[in-house]
Structure 1
Amino acid sequence: MKKIELYDTTLRDGSQTEGISYSVADKIKIARKLDELGVAYIEGGFPGSNPKDRMFFEEFKKHPLKNAALTAFGATRKAGVAAKDDPVFAAILHSGVRVATIFGKSWDLHVRDVLRVSLEENLEIIRDSVKYLVAEGLELIYDAEHFFDAYKHNRDYAMATLLAAQDCGARLLCLCDTNGGTLTSQLVAVIADVQKNVKLPLGIHVHNDLGLAVANSIAAVEAGCVQVQGTINGYGERCGNADLIPIVGILKLKMGLDCVTDEQLKELTEVSHFVSEISNMKQADNQPFVGKSAFAHKAGVHINAVYKNPKSYEHIEPERVGNVRRILVSELAGKTPILTKAEELKLQLKKDSPDTKRVVKLLQDLEHEGYQFEAADASFEILVKRALKQYKKFFELEGFRVIVEKRQKGTITSEATIKLKVGGVQEHTSSDGDGPVNALDNALRKALKGFYPVVSKMHLSDFKVRVLDAKDGTAAKVRVLIQSQDERDSWTTVGVSENIIEASWLALVDSIEYKLLKDGAVLPHE
């Protein structure tokens, strides 16, 4: 099986994403997770440019990676400075790595307008830089920056820059589509021509400005490249870099190429989510292979077929990449997911029973009003149990009031007062909160904890509001999703209303009642 080298540059290119800023500790955690995944090369950063990257490399002198080769990044030497005197090279050598990746100018436009040196002097800079680092005992990967644009404008000079790096000891030449503007067919044609003129193995490094980064990376491998550079989740400047997550899945599962082991492949989803979390970036639900929606089925026809044979609507088994199949409950889904969910809840429903038809009708009516149960399994369970008359009310609301007060030069305070009955016993209480929903949550649990102590072991962990029809302005309906959790698990509930407080209350009540249901709480005096 042909071996493809995975080269990850999340810690450098990925850190250039708008909104991402990695600490040294963040970078160390990501590097170790990538090492577990089986990435061959991990580009740790640019030690010649900032103290943070220098600190990062110091950590790995003491605790090296187990599998991957840690790589230090830099540019070719400065014009007019000998390689042995260049501070960037000094930092690379001090970093303690055995592999260095340096980029050089391939495009005559950059040589003239950015470096502002002659074309011949740029070739000498490349030769001198590569020769020096190789002589110092480093494995040298040469990144030909802007190579595909360079080739279009001056093919012969672009080729000359590759030969300069090759002749002075580079181990691999990586062709870079730095502006991300090359079409796949053009990229393949250029690679074919390069292979006729160089002896070294080739790598590919593409950006996603046309949305083609993954496709171009795969096409480059098909054209003969043996190394693929990219970032986890496609993070990177502008529109990002090639996303290594789907690239790994395609190489391994669709092309049969050796890049990670089968066991490492099962970590793909975890790695993607891990890096997303540390980067403080929302995970894309529709990300191929690893997204929450990658194996989610909503349409009734699809769901029915998947139950009969998953291959009917899934291109791989989700477990192979560490993901799971999800069946979404919605107005489009028909009876199948409802029957499945009922079976999970140990409720007796038959396909053509009046109960099933009633649940389907209720679900469709509620979704027409703006409810959405795809992400609110807890509210769906309560909905089904109410429809089947297998639900007991744990309390009855008599009324609530929420006061929001802002005093001059003071902070905004919220207070909620609640009146309710539990088993015929009236409870009247109030509580403060950071906002009206937090105050309501505190007051409701305060009123109930004397009757149901388990409510003190749960808390609200997330709160989302979506306006359903913005054209109605302040009279628009809103949908509130509330995530709650206890020491064992988490669950999500939903509420819809023209009033955000009422929508929040509906979701809060479902959240509390779900906790009581799952813990087997009983009404007082039962």
Structure 2
Amino acid sequence: MTERLYLYDTTLRDGQQTHGVQFSTGEKVRIAGVLDQLGLDYVEGGWPGANPTDSEFFETAPTMRPTLTAFGMTKRAGRSAQNDEVLAAVLNAGTPAVCLVGKTHDFHVSTALGISLEENTENIRQSVAHVVAEGREALFDAEHFFDGWKANRAYALEAVRAAHEAGARWIVLCDTNGGTLPHEVGAIVADVIAAGIPSERLGIHTHDDTGNAVANTLAAVDAGARQIQGTLNGLGERCGNANLTTLIPTLLLKEPYRSAFETGVTMEALAGLSRASRLLDDILNRVPLKQAPYVGGAAFAHKAGLHASAILKDPSTYEHVDPALVGNVRIVPMSNQAGQSNLRRRLAEAGLEVAPGAAALPAILDRVKAREAEGYAYDTAQASFELLARAELGQLPRYFEVERYRVISERRRNARGEVVVESEAVVTVQLPDGSKRTSFFKNEHAQEMQDAGPVNALWQALKSDLGPHSEVVEDMHLVDFKVRITNGGTEAVTRVIIDSSDATGRRWATVGVSANIVDASFEALLDAVTWKLVRDLGTVGAAA
């Protein structure tokens, strides 16, 4: 018989404490929709009254299946729970559940709050009882519990017992500083259960300061905790919280959790996990972490030739789960470590079927290795690799050729004394019919310091007149731009990788290399446009 695990997301509250992250109300609503689709049990929306954005979110909170939860703290000393305006603001949010954080470490009670242990215990008891009396589901976040248990076990247990006796549905043990290790978490959770807090009322909230947040959460589940708190993509203060995009598939796909527990997440919802992870990164304008377990772009990438050869025979040889289960895909990147197994697999994924032993295979491999010796990197630029392979196979259409380009950037102060950075570019292309097109673009609002660079100017000039192909690239966007210097000193070589996307949701990466950063960028840009035309047009409009 399986037991129920409850998943509690705090991306909108604890995740917002990530350095450099500040959600708008609209962004919080979008993220809440993602969490709803995943099938989580609780969504913590923020701290009403703590800031205008959180207050506005609760005023316009979307309807969702998960239990919307407001976060706050236990009442302050010297006033009743009924007359504490901070606690009142949390209750006034009108959410069906309220999570209150309270001190359970004696050091924090005496040092941070400056009150007696007895008074703190009574604050916890009265606050939770007040939430329950208001008809809300009460959760108690036992702040610094693991450090508190190690310093003064008796008081830490007294504090959580007070919340439990006052009617809290969940007692959540928090590793607030993130310094506890898995074996300690397991032993302490087991002790709390032995001390009288029922397993089915116990939750776990961990931070990743030792890189053990996921392991600590699983240790708590093994010991009896039945609610899991975490965030999408592991957002959170300092090193982040337990990562739900790692925990959820582990619970659904890995033993013993798969057989022992059930959650509100269906296998259909699990298939949307990678998309949910990347959508959050898009909202935050962050580059997705390629090495993220399950959902990362490299999570199922097989670079070594030996690995790729085995993958062709049976994917389970080097994959612990099917990537499709979490909405991810298998990638066999090209690099100077590649063999023909990698190559044929990658060609097949690009729709290029080449027979084993074909003469083109060693030619492509030689070309890849020679280019990587010059500084190119095809393991992260799959679209450029495909174009290289098509060229060797004689299957690369010619839609246009760039005859010349020129780009100028200027930094100056205008008449108002404001710094102005302007870039202008001219690009001349020749189309298959022999006609030439010259396009000009100048950043007219460069003082806003957005998209004012030379690469954007080149991109705008190039796409503005590609003849019949201009319409095809209208929905194309440059979404990321990475620069690496592959050699130092006077022989420095610059590698530029550009990530592009279009309205279909496709995302592709291209690479350019040159001693000149603008030229390297333009080369990557040309590959990006050409790949888009190949995918959307085939041989239509190309030179014979």
TM-score, structure 2 normalization: 0.88
Equivalent residues in 2 for 1:193-272, closer than 5 Å: 193-200=191-198, 201-254=201-254, 255-256=257-258, 257-259=261-263, 260-272=265-277
Corresponding position of 1:174 = 172
**Higher alpha-carbon deviation: 127-136 or 289-298:** 127-136
Deviations 1:176-211 (A, max 9, x none): 111111111112111121111124321111111111
Q: Is residue 369 of structure 1 aligned with residue 374 of structure 2?
A: yes
Shift in alpha-carbon separation, 1:235–1:486, aligned structure 2, 3 A: closer
Corresponding position of 1:281 = 286
Q: 1:219 is matched by which residue type in structure 2?
A: A
Q: Is residue 8 of structure 1 aligned with residue 9 of structure 2?
A: yes
Corresponding position of 1:508 = 525
CA contact (8 A) 2:350 2:386 kept: yes
CA contact (8 A) 1:38 1:264 kept: yes
Report sequence identity in percent: 43
C-alpha distance in structure 2 between counterparts of 1:87 and 1:405, whole Å? 55
Shift in alpha-carbon separation, 1:462–1:54, aligned structure 2, 3 A: closer
C-alpha distance in structure 1 between counterparts of 2:157 and 2:117, whole Å? 12
Corresponding position of 1:188 = 186
CA contact (8 A) 1:20 1:280 kept: no
Aligned length: 520
Q: 1:290 is matched by which residue type in structure 2?
A: V
C-alpha distance in structure 2 between counterparts of 1:462 and 1:331, whole Å? 27
1:104 to 99, 102, 105: 102
Deviation at 1:58, TM superposition (A): 2.3
C-alpha distance in structure 1 between counterparts of 2:463 and 2:280, whole Å? 36
Q: Is residue 159 of structure 1 aligned with residue 160 of structure 2?
A: no
Equivalent residues in 2 for 1:331-350, closer than 5 Å: 331-344=336-349, 347=352, 349-350=354-355
C-alpha distance in structure 2 between counterparts of 1:425 and 1:228, whole Å? 64
Is the partner of 1:241 in helix, strand or coil? coil
Deviations 1:124-150 (A, max 9, x none): 212221222222222211111111111
Is the partner of 2:338 in helix, strand or coil? coil
Corresponding position of 2:58 = 57
Uncovered stretches (5+) of structure 1, i.e. residues with no partner: none
Shift in alpha-carbon separation, 1:337–1:237, aligned structure 2, 3 A: same
Corresponding position of 2:448 = none
Is the partner of 2:102 in helix, strand or coil? strand
Q: Which has the higher Rg, Structure 1 or Structure 2? A: 1
Q: 1:154 is matched by which residue type in structure 2?
A: N
Deviations 1:63-101 (A, max 9, x none): 532x21111211111100011101123223322122211
Corresponding position of 2:449 = none
Q: 2:525 is matched by which residue type in structure 1?
A: L
Is the partner of 1:249 in helix, strand or coil? helix
CA contact (8 A) 2:478 2:500 kept: yes
Shift in alpha-carbon separation, 1:470–1:341, aligned structure 2, 3 A: closer
Q: 2:302 is matched by which residue type in structure 1?
A: H
**Higher alpha-carbon deviation: 413-422 or 103-112:** 413-422
CA contact (8 A) 2:312 2:345 kept: no
C-alpha distance in structure 2 between counterparts of 1:64 and 1:323, whole Å? 29
CA contact (8 A) 1:398 1:419 kept: yes
Equivalent residues in 2 for 1:18-57, closer than 5 Å: 18-57=19-58
**Higher alpha-carbon deviation: 484-493 or 462-471:** 484-493
Is the partner of 1:378 in helix, strand or coil? helix
**Higher alpha-carbon deviation: 181-190 or 484-493:** 484-493
Q: 1:354 is matched by which residue type in structure 2?
A: A
Q: 2:63 is matched by which residue type in structure 1?
A: P
Shift in alpha-carbon separation, 1:165–1:307, aligned structure 2, 3 A: same
Corresponding position of 1:466 = 483
CA contact (8 A) 1:47 1:91 kept: yes
Q: Is residue 116 of structure 1 aligned with residue 120 of structure 2?
A: no
CA contact (8 A) 2:473 2:529 kept: no
C-alpha distance in structure 1 between counterparts of 2:428 and 2:283, whole Å? 43
CA contact (8 A) 1:415 1:432 kept: yes
Equivalent residues in 2 for 1:325-474, closer than 5 Å: 325-344=330-349, 347=352, 349-391=354-396, 393-395=398-400, 398-406=403-411, 409=414, 411-418=420-427, 421-422=430-431, 425=434, 427=436, 429=438, 431-434=440-443, 435-445=453-463, 448-449=466-467, 457=474, 459=476, 461-462=478-479, 464-469=481-486, 471-472=488-489
Corresponding position of 1:493 = 510
Is the partner of 1:306 in helix, strand or coil? helix
C-alpha distance in structure 2 between counterparts of 1:281 and 1:165, whole Å? 39
Q: 1:142 is matched by which residue type in structure 2?
A: F
CA contact (8 A) 1:467 1:476 kept: no
Deviation at 1:485, TM superposition (A): 5.3
Shift in alpha-carbon separation, 1:167–1:343, aligned structure 2, 3 A: closer
CA contact (8 A) 2:432 2:541 kept: no
Is the partner of 2:173 in helix, strand or coil? strand
C-alpha distance in structure 1 between counterparts of 2:27 and 2:428, whole Å? 48
C-alpha distance in structure 2 between counterparts of 1:212 and 1:129, whole Å? 32
CA contact (8 A) 2:333 2:382 kept: no
Deviation at 1:112, TM superposition (A): 0.8
2:133 to 113, 135, 160: 135
Q: Is residue 309 of structure 1 aligned with residue 314 of structure 2?
A: yes
Q: 1:162 is matched by which residue type in structure 2?
A: V
Deviations 1:407-461 (A, max 9, x none): 5647444444455655694737352344433444445456642x75556646552
C-alpha distance in structure 2 between counterparts of 1:424 and 1:38, whole Å? 55
C-alpha distance in structure 2 between counterparts of 1:264 and 1:390, whole Å? 39
C-alpha distance in structure 2 between counterparts of 1:207 and 1:391, whole Å? 50
Q: 2:231 is matched by which residue type in structure 1?
A: T
C-alpha distance in structure 1 between counterparts of 2:466 and 2:63, whole Å? 54
Shift in alpha-carbon separation, 1:299–1:128, aligned structure 2, 3 A: same
CA contact (8 A) 2:234 2:242 kept: yes
TM-score, structure 1 normalization: 0.91
**Cα RMSD (Å):** 2.6
**Higher alpha-carbon deviation: 11-20 or 396-405:** 396-405
2:83 to 85, 94, 107: 85
CA contact (8 A) 1:458 1:484 kept: no
Shift in alpha-carbon separation, 1:211–1:341, aligned structure 2, 3 A: closer
CA contact (8 A) 1:415 1:439 kept: yes
2:493 to 450, 459, 477: 477
Shift in alpha-carbon separation, 1:234–1:402, aligned structure 2, 3 A: closer
**Higher alpha-carbon deviation: 131-140 or 311-320:** 131-140
C-alpha distance in structure 2 between counterparts of 1:452 and 1:69, whole Å? 50
C-alpha distance in structure 2 between counterparts of 1:523 and 1:221, whole Å? 59
